[in-house]
Structure 1
Amino acid sequence: QDGSYLAEFLLEKGYEVHGIVRRSSSFNTGRIEHLYKNPQAHIEGNMKLHYGDLTDSTCLVKIINEVKPSEIYNLGAQSHVKISFDLAEYTADVDGVGTLRLLDAIKTCGLINSVKFYQASTSELFGKVQEIPQKETTPFYPRSPYGAAKLYAYWIVVNFREAYNLFAVNGILFNHESPRRG
């Protein structure tokens, strides 16, 4: 849901929007079909989709090198908390190490000084509630593989910001609903 609303917002502001979609047996772009000029023919206008995956650093480097973006919003994740217990390694690979792969691709492509990077984090970083309401100073205490993977992503973003002076930020999102929720 967030990606489709963000793409819509950026397109309305005149951006050229590039998105990464995983290959699947069905082209599952229902939440963004309305953003295409001609969705049946997949004629994009100012929106282009690239096949790729956060588990594949080669494709990330290729896409980033080709597009040379000025902003990157990482909303990709295996975000189902319960499933993360069954797919812990996959969740860590996509949600945690996938973020590192994106940041590394920015560095590899020589875009450290020109890209702004946004990482969608989660209230699952807080996990075990230690204070209500949570705030930026609330200690992290993830209670799932998903929360732990996102915690790694959070800190690797901080690390790249401090080590390479990359404009890189985390936004901690809490549960939210919309008609586009998957």
Structure 2
Amino acid sequence: MAPIDPSVAAENTYVDTPILDTPTPKRKVALVTGITGQDGSYLAELLLEKGYEVHGVVRRSSSFNTGRIDHLYKDRHDRGVKLLLHYGDLCDAKSLITIISTVRPTEVYNLGAMSHVKVSFDKPQYTADCDGVGVLRILDAIRDAGLE
């Protein structure tokens, strides 16, 4: 699968979030799935403290749940913004390809998963698709973007 043209990525980017400078060998750019969860929010905070540029993947939802990262998130127009959010889903290969080929992270942390136990039992195939096959989608997107 060929990499997605970065100009197409804007439609999947959270509130037209600008992509920061292209990574250089000295820069650390992390992509975190599950950033709005407990572990993802702690990881984002740690990475920001260590000077990383952090990009988080959030699902589109009617209940936009960012409470765990609200203290980290700054307006994208402010100077020195190091945390950017992008709409995406582990069940949607196109969104992952677009995000990864545009952000070009130097590190990827996959903490995204079906976190609601009842839903995971009620919809086992969907859960397996997102949690299991979602990892393969991330790996394919990394390969397609030409990242190491």
TM-score using structure 2 length: 0.69
SS of equivalent residue, structure 1 residue 77 = coil
Aligned in 2, Cα 1:67/1:24: closer, same or farther, shift over 3 Å? same
Larger Rg: 1
Q: Which residues of 2 match residues 35-50 of structure 1 at below 5 A?
A: 35-38=72-75, 45-50=81-86
| 2:3 aligned residue | none
Q: Establish whether residue 16 from structure 1 lines up as the match of residue 81 from structure 2.
A: no
Q: Of 22, 25, 32, which aligns to 2:69?
A: 32
Q: 1:5 aligns with which of 42, 48, 62?
A: 42
What is the number of residues matched between the two proteins?
Answer: 110
Opposite residue 102 of structure 1, the aligned amino acid is: I
Give the structure, 1 or 2, with the largest relative contact order (CA under 8 Å, sep 6 or more). 2
| AA matched with 1:23 | R
- What whole-Å deviation, never above 9, does each CA across 1:7-53 have from its counterpart, x for those lacking one? 00000001000000000112210000000235xx8968100000010
User: Within 5 A, what are the aligned runs for 1:98-137?
Assistant: 98-111=134-147, 113=148
Is the contact between residue 90 and residue 135 of structure 2 (CA under 8 Å) also seen in structure 1? yes
Secondary structure in 2 aligned to 1:29?
Answer: coil
Structure 2 residue identity aligned to 1:31? R
Counterpart contact for 1:61–1:109, Cα < 8 Å: yes
Q: Report the equivalent of 1:157.
A: none
**Do 2:57 and 2:87's aligned partners in 1 also have CA atoms closer than 8 Å?**
yes
Q: Is the 8 A contact 1:36 1:42 kept in 2?
A: no
Q: CA RMSD in A?
A: 1.8
Supply the AA of the counterpart residue of 1:28.
Answer: N
Runs of at least 5 residues in structure 2 that lack an aligned partner in the other structure: 1-37
Identity %: 69
Distance of 1:79 and 1:42 partners within structure 2 = 32
**1:40-72 deviations in whole A, cap 9, x for unaligned?**
x89681000000101111110110000000000
Matched, 1:72 2:108: yes
Cα distance in 1 between the residues matched to 2:61 and 2:119: 19
Query: Conserved in 1, the CA contact under 8 Å of 2:74 and 2:83?
Result: no
Q: Which ranges in structure 1 are unaligned for 5 or more consecutive residues?
A: 114-182
Query: TM-score, normalised on structure 1?
Result: 0.57
The letter of the residue matching 1:7 is: A
Question: For 2:93 and 2:113, how far apart are their aligned partners in 1?
Answer: 15
Which SS does the other structure have where 1:35 is aligned?
coil
Residue identity opposite 1:83 in structure 2: V
Cα displacement (A) at 1:102: 0.3
